[in-house]
Structure 1
């Protein structure tokens, strides 16, 4: 066994599974600082460890050495009082040539004193004269094992976890004692810390094998296990026989392979590699191949077993190879089973017949070991079957009798496609049973558009079956009319295609053309004169009779005279498109057939108006019909004619007077071919009319010539009765408005009266309305000024405004605003008194205008006109905020838009005013208000403009406290020096976010937005490790902060080192700095041998780390240092710091008899406990010097002595643990020049 390092452990020994002995050191005894031990029994090892003294022992198998306690003393065996040898601790047992005691530790944990050959662990009664005076104390004897993990023995277990029959090897796994060794023959492997092991053993023989597995500790066999694995020749999965497969040219054929499982197993994982037969490829798209299982192999039924399906199929070598994965998952796979798989193999149509095979390798691993089955399935490429076709002859344009196509094979499955010879097409085709020549109604027939080809197939694609035991194809051909008599038409083909287009059967055929050729033709005659019927006619054969049919309806017959025939088409055929067939017979047999297309157009259709009520007046009648047809529209007593356009539409307008009974609106169409159709819509003309204003429009000058007829005109609602009255109440005239609403009458007025005329209309449904007063003046009279362009109190359109009106003939007119500013001046017409003037107004001002006239005779008059700008009421909007938005506490400015000059008032949920303002000329408004910090607001903004008003509700929410969070960067992230980095996070909306370093230096201050998001971008570096404190202060003063965020540079990974101390060196008890180097920004976690965390320093930007901590004074430390950063880790698994070991003070210089020389410095040197304080005093108590021993215990001091004094010196030491010791007093005298003996 390889020697191991010394180790520290409590002195606890195992008596039994429930009895443990603890040795505990007592107080110092006597002047020589000896310690005795107490022995106690405990039910558990933990209880014993709690009181036992810890000692450092030599490693198991190491050379014998002292056993040290933490105080520097060593264990020794001694007879004290009564009983057997017991245990003591004394410094002399450490290194004294006389008393040093050496101990050895066996692999089983026995601690034996080499001189006495006695071991620790037993107990005896205490001697009353020696501590502990009562109870138990240690006894040396046969010994008990130490309680320590390294001495626990785990029984060996071994299992064959895997057999590779092909390689003839096994993998053995098991459990054993941690750090022990497992051996098979000359092979060994260590047992891991978890107590597990594994080993591969090869070179086995076919059949049963015997393998002895041994556990060794300290090179001694502890226990053993024998395994007996069996190796099967050729593996446990082998190829199984399969029959030869025929490959169809131009098709895909399934080719199977079968393997036999000869051993039970729980799972299989592997790959299957296949090679296609020569000249073929594997069909694409085969990503999964279904597996079948049985226990008999080929010839028996197969049961699907999806867990053995081949998956993840992938083609290689241009489709020549395929590879699949196999993973069975868990579940038993019994021995004696056969597994079948079928691959789709594509064989080119050009392949020559040949014999070849599909190769496969079925290999992998399983719970029963590796397997590999290599085999092949034989294949043969076969040709296509022949098809015989027979068909009789016919004349050009004629149709043959039924022909047939027979497949010369017992059975061929697939769709049959027939291609007609050049100059022929299929009239009919069907599949017939070979047994009785009856048609198969369930077989599908699909013709090409030109009927040059036809495909016959079964109920589903590819299901048709042909051959002598199944079906044949029957068909008739129609020859082209221009076929050459006596010719043979070739190019006919018949093909049966299998899946993938493979040709399974094929053949060719031809058809003969008779010598005689009919001359039959047919043409349509259709003229634009609509009264003439359509006709059909053409060429024919003398003596022949031509029958014209539409479908099965005979339209007429005509004899062929002088090589021609013709026939009028009866109008009973009706409108629309017609296909006419002219068939000629000569001497009672068919001799030619032709078709002609006749289009007599669509029937007439009244689209509008629809049946029902309409508004009386001019009505547009629209519809559709036959192009170029004549349409007559009749409504009441009015008739209108029109013509159908080329696109089939027509339109006409008719007057329909008011009434309460239905009026037929009839459209009659006379189309080409003498085809007459009609359509009628029934309408009732009593829907409410749109009430039009009744107004008097003439004479527009408002002047009349006295006693001469004056024409008075106006407009009203069509068909209304209009009554015109003067201001004195009598009726001047009663008239009816025409279809367009116009009315008029003539009358003499005067000689000098001023008339105020009013027109009143009464609609057919009784509604009434009156016109504005219309004034009539006699020529030359004074007329009050009026404004006709604007109403008092009305509005104007801002900009250039034109005013019109009437006044006295030739009067001077001027207009001024409320500030007496002249707006315009003009003169009325000398004839009609009309006036007009233009001025600029606006944009938002209101005007009070005075318009004055001065007649030619000096008479004046005026009128007043109040106008406001014509402003369109604009909806109120709030543009500064949105409903439900979080506001920023403090001064909040509200903004929006509305109607210029309107007033905006805002109130809160309690009805209190929040603010108000007037909307500016540009339509915008704003006001400011203090809000917050914690209140929510439900505001209502109301706009008032003249008589109009609208409102907008706006809910504003106070910022809701949201704890500060940082979303980027994350803990452990690093920055790239010199490149901008963005910090982002969330907090309370509108709060202030401040980031400072640990020293208080500000890094950034930002304010969150309404969504609570904050961000800041800046450059960090170049190599600083920032300790960043991020805090928030909300607008209401509430604060919180994040834990300090360490933000280091993204610098290269550097290994972890300790530079402040050397591994195993003696440390100075007290506060010391443990330090080293590593990766900047990484965290170094330091734990001691008891897994207690000592500290977690961070590596600084300069790559150094340091931990200041108190150590000691008497403990040894076994440290584990682990450095981590961003998931990467480096470790110093064991780093030891030794406590100072008590060492008696020694004097190296002066040597006995050595003296000092007067006037010269002398250096005294010696050894003592590391870091102890060394004091030198005279016999009278005077201090000569004080110094400190280094970590190796060496001390020295230099000074001058003399000149002739003989010093009697006492040397003492005091260790950092407080322990003291002295050196024998010595004299130090002047050098007398003699050499010391």
Structure 2
């Protein structure tokens, strides 16, 4: 059996209990000697255990309990040194010996003894009686992390000594993962540690934020310290179970070069780091000069800032955007006012945004018109969705106000046009997006108003798309998709969210009927606002709006059928011959069929484009009266009307 160095010359003993990983050994009886009362050699030391390779709570210290009724306590610690400082002295059998573990508890000598009847087999400081239960022997323990000799109860026939829930306990027989190992001088075993790796910021890189976050990989559970060259810890973290760590810098760095080391506490290894913090250049506004007067209604704004940064200037009074541009590579920015100014004092804020860093500068000037001009142009406004609003449909509909006759365009954050429309003479506009969007936050785009092709004003949009919870879906129950109607004026019916607006739009966008508010039952009915000619109608939509936001759309597809007319034979008519021929008119493309009084199939025909059809009965029939059968018309497989025949067959064509 593998042994450690002899303990006869050791003045300090640390018992290291580890929560070992990997499959446990088979539960076999330990190969140890039976207790021998003549073996009394022992050694004293402090009782320290180790639960895992490193990190918070990796070690525990065994102290004295107050009485024999309570298990012996074990407090947890981060390092071996802390645990040794908290531990009390006990006496153990020598490494090759068998004997008790003795200690002094409240002035009385006590021997450690496990209680095998308990679920967790806690170890108590019992009165020393020389029993087998108080005998402890040594057995080898070796796992992927630790190796050494463990103390086994009952002279080697019981469980390994371990720590559980802050108290000493014993585990299953012969299972190393439940054991404890003993090593000289309280030194921890040397486990295999995952190496410390720094992934960001890269060595020698430049960062633009004063408090960057260090990231990397290392040994799970180990503390990580980012140490500057002067020795101070500027960031810290813990390696997660997946082996990665993050350590945000706790204080703002001064501009310039910085260097130091990253330390993994578990194995006290380090890697170097170095970076240069280049502060972001703050925004300045050079024109219009502060508190100056301008006499053009769309002045040029200019200044300096961080290359690549986004620059906006918002009027503090009404939030209208005056500037929306980007700093050039030379560090300058310039843009003509996005809106025509009105004669007044302007107080605005210039904002620069670069890599989540925001700086501002004041803007103050007065605009004075050189000569009177006609009434001011109405700037575009976005009323819905409002800034920060939540919509529930995948196709946003923007509404607002603007200059009558002007063109309004919705431009996305990547400068793609998402829809456009004209401002009505009442000063309102409506633009439905030309694409569907997924749930999320949408900002960075804008609504632009153009007059004669020139941008006059703009406003940003910022909204959240989140599918509506609990809203009833739009359902069209009639006409069915592919269905047919006989009357010239369609009546649409269905269900929707109570209180919602439902409208029918033709394929050309004209509103053909609507209901402003669905009643509390959720049902609705809309009559088409005009008569329709017999034909197929497809491509239009039925839409539901909840609080002005589209919340469902159904594309209709139906046919207005032409009534079935049987021109020959008419009811009561006498015809000659032995094989009747039926003729008439109906919906082009529909199917006409004749069914006899007893269900006999007497023929069918598809109505020709001119609306006519004819069917010759398939066999000869005797003279007599024929009634009880019918002629039926089917559109897209659905019977829409029928005609009951009643005629007399004369039997001769002469």
Which of the five TM-score ranges fits, normalised by the shorter chain?
under 0.3
Structure possessing the higher radius of gyration over alpha carbons: 1
TM normalised by structure 1 equals: 0.14
